[in-house]
Amino acid sequence: MEKMISIIVPVYNASDYIIDCLNSVFLQTYSTFEVLAINDGSTDNSLEILNKIAIQDSRLRVIDQENKGVSSTRNTGLKYAKGEYILFLDSDDTIDASLLQDNLNLLIKSQVDLVIFGFNRVFLKNTKISTKTINSSQVIQSKQLNTVLEELVRKELIFPPFNKLFKKEIIDYHNLQFDCHMRYGEDFVFVTQYLDKCSNIYLNSKAYYNYLFDRPTSAMNRYDENKLNDQLYVHDYLEHFLKKYEVDTDSILNERLINICYDGILNILKDETQKKNIGISSDYKQILVLLKTKCTTKDSTLKMKLKIFLCQHLKILMLLN
């Protein structure tokens, strides 16, 4: 009997994308799956679209809830999932037809607790694609994770939940949940908690997931007053995680902190009131302290040096923005 995979899809105002997303699922070469589409209080016609598709394909289960955020939505999916394995899929993304078949085979044949595969970062405005993959496919014992952690972090393969195939029994046994109080980084916290329970992992060097990076209505394009604090919390969490596996953290953490400062300023500039009063912004003052005391250009890439320069010369960044 074939193993069931539960695909959890949080949906919020995704009417422009959800059909392509679900079509990529229904075209899978592996057909024993269920799709749990959790409508998170959408104000567009996403729910209507989901209900119509569910009539055509019984593998789609639609769950409607009031708006609670992506973490709560994923937790709802975990609660109702019937499959032995879990894949998380965002409603504006798509997956290659062989994702389920290939990665389930790897998980079962290699007798591992998790498969991490690559993904493509797709940019709408210029259709550019940036691919993130591990250098070579391999099985890694948990005690050997330190040998690949730097590559996984630098290539951003460790942070998201969507480029991984999980075992439901591990999630259930340890009662793993997404933190509903976090707006940023809650997925990384979930992933690291799962990693702590794994005996071994398969690293698949092929990319299967297509991540839409610059969706116009994405929360990434709106000002969020909690973003900086959440990102700094995750930064500290990452530092603790890397040190636990005895990974040299200085270079990795410096680059990530520079990115946090840069993104923090971009976040401020998304709000006109904040932008006009940036000099008295508490976030901006905190960023200046971080740039002065913790961020260094020593051994930094040219890209990181440029980001520090732009943060320090805010007028240039404001003109670019």
pLDDT single digits (tens) 104-150: 999 999 999 999 999 999 987 656 688 999 999 999 998 899 999 99
pLDDT at residue 304, as a whole number:
87
Residues 6+ apart with CB under 8 A from 64: 38, 39, 47
Residues 6+ apart with CB under 8 A from 17: 91, 92, 93, 212, 215
- Give me the count of residues in the chain: 321
pLDDT single digits (tens) 277-315: 787 888 989 999 998 898 888 777 888 889 888 888 887
pLDDT single digits (tens) 80-101: 999 999 999 999 999 999 999 9
Alpha carbon of 41 to those of 63, 119, 140: distances in Å?
10, 28, 40
Q: What is the pTM of this model?
A: 0.91
**Residues β-bridged to residue 279:** none
pLDDT single digits (tens) 223-233: 788 889 999 99
Among the listed ranges 82-91, 188-197, 232-241, 308-317, which one has the minimum average pLDDT value? 308-317
